[in-house]
Structure 1
């Protein structure tokens, strides 16, 4: 290369390094944004705003099954949109959300007992003591079923502190 061409193209490696660093910092910032969006006091799908993935929380009690709710029967509660399979379930929930809503905001009580917040999956659930609990994994649900009082004691003791660390 001639000296003139070297001067003309000499800045390109510097530009490439700058672009790589800028991309890294943008990706890092986006990652923190995603984390902030998922730290809620009630587990909500950050794209749809639906609580418990649109499953009807009352159906766990009335049908003993995880039943998908319908868009025609929705209610807003605790910063989330809840879906129900019929108007009766919607009315029951609106009257008593503290009873029908998943305990601990839908976080896995098995993990809460260990001091960790992990979103529950509405397909892995247990109703015990007239309350609904969701679990992140099937194994957690199965372990919880063997001794609910033990896990609930630890989860209940740790929940206030963990709840404070979640975004409102």
Structure 2
């Protein structure tokens, strides 16, 4: 590269400001600031609790209404004015009726295995389920970490549930109380 091109590209000896490096540094600094300030980041879900809770908001299943999966057959975000505390988590609901149903029967409406992916439980690991990947099987809600896991579970739920249920007690003992 000629001296003139090096100077124009900023790659010559003594090159000063490098925009690419500066951008990476800025993003790293913002990410650290966001974590320290308590803003949600991609690592918001804890996987050491019996019920998966966002560590920044305290919300179970990222604020989705667990009753809506049954009543509306879809994942719907709950509202802050319809909340209930259960199992160390804050649950949100779309309306008072859904909140009342959950409070009366959390074992029915809450996600099974505390919201952990049953496919991963069957493999012996705890992995947080995603409230957008879900199935209701035998009137129970299951959350999955990946779409592929949901599809595999739908193909053979009985076998995979047996495997997850067999491993769950030991895995649950290792989770925080």
| TM-score, normalised with respect to structure 1 | 0.78
Contact residue 135 and residue 143 of structure 2 kept, 8 A: yes
For 1:98-151, what per-residue CA distance to the aligned partner results, in whole angstroms no more than 9, with x for missing partners?
Answer: 000000000000000111100000000000100000000000000000000010
| Corresponding pairs, count | 133
Per the alignment, residue 95 of structure 1 pairs with 104
Report how far residue 38 of structure 1 moved.
4.0
Contact residue 113 and residue 154 of structure 1 kept, 8 A: yes
Per the alignment, residue 137 of structure 2 pairs with 128
Per the alignment, residue 109 of structure 1 pairs with 118
Root-mean-square deviation over aligned CA pairs? 1.0
Per the alignment, residue 88 of structure 2 pairs with 79
Q: Determine the C-alpha separation between the residues in 2 that align with 1:50 and 1:58.
A: 15
Report how far residue 92 of structure 1 moved.
0.2
For 1:45-99, what per-residue CA distance to the aligned partner results, in whole angstroms no more than 9, with x for missing partners?
Answer: 0000000000000000000000000000000000000000000000000000000
Q: Determine the C-alpha separation between the residues in 1 that align with 2:169 and 2:97.
A: 32
The runs of 4+ residues in structure 1 deviating greater than 6 Å are none
Q: Determine the C-alpha separation between the residues in 1 that align with 2:95 and 2:139.
A: 21
Per the alignment, residue 57 of structure 2 pairs with 48
Report how far residue 153 of structure 1 moved.
0.1
Per the alignment, residue 22 of structure 1 pairs with none
Per the alignment, residue 12 of structure 2 pairs with none
Per the alignment, residue 154 of structure 2 pairs with 145
Higher helix share: 1
Contact residue 83 and residue 92 of structure 2 kept, 8 A: yes
Contact residue 53 and residue 89 of structure 2 kept, 8 A: yes
Contact residue 38 and residue 46 of structure 1 kept, 8 A: no
